[in-house]
Amino acid sequence: DEISNAQVTGDYDNISYLETNRVPISRFKAKTLGDQNGHDISKAFDSNVSSFWASSTVNTETVKNTITFEFQRLTTLDAIVMMPAYSTDNGANPKTRRYDGFPTTMKVYTASNNKEFELHTIFTGTPARTDLWDRVQFVFRRQITCDHLKIEFTEVTRDVSFGNDYTAACGELYLVQPP
């Protein structure tokens, strides 16, 4: 499936819903290609909007940032919700926002029972500078059930906040289960 990402709506715009239905960090291990000092992957799951994960690996034609999840058991997901890294220019009229390390193309792969990863969904889209999105939803057309998940940050915006290069970054990352 190829789907556009979007500003959060409905339940995905409700922090209480996200916190209640996110896969608890105790139920998975997350691995990346490398994290910047002080911005390790655990920051994406700490429920702290002031902390950020930032990759230390620059996206190239041949290397794409990934987060690979190993779940303790089969896990069903409806969506991924991300709080992107951003900087808002409050002096502009209208206000503008620069999204840093934002996935303009994000591929989601699944695997179960020691099988190879298979592409499940490709998400595309870039908020406009005047879009002031605090969170972005990546909602699957079909639920995912897997014991391994890989998020590939295929194309990202320049990450001015964390190194000024094409590295992936985010504040919070919610793997949202059905209620």
Would you state the pLDDT for residue 178?
Answer: 97
Instruction: Give the DSSP H or E segment for 17.
Output: helix 15-21
Would you state the pLDDT for residue 54?
Answer: 98
Return all residues near 166 (Cβ < 8 A) that are at least 6 apart. 58, 59, 60, 101, 156, 157, 158, 159
Over residues 81-101, the mean pLDDT reads 97
pTM of the model as a whole:
0.96
Judging by beta carbons within 10 Å of its beta carbon (0-12, 13-18, 19+), is residue 6 exposed, middle or buried? middle
DSSP 26: G
Over residues 128-135, the mean pLDDT reads 96
Three-state SS string over 93-148 comes to CCCEEEEECCEEEEEEEEECCCCCCEEEEEEECCCCCCCCCCCEEEEEEEEEEEEE
Would you state the pLDDT for residue 64?
Answer: 98
Q: Residue 6 — pLDDT band, cuts 50, 70, 90?
A: very high
Report pLDDT digits (tens) over 52-83.
Answer: 999 999 999 999 999 999 999 999 999 999 99
Over residues 94-99, the mean pLDDT reads 97
Q: Residue 50 — pLDDT band, cuts 50, 70, 90?
A: very high
- Phi/psi-derived region of residue 125, left when phi > 0, alpha when psi is between -120 and 50, beta in every other case: left
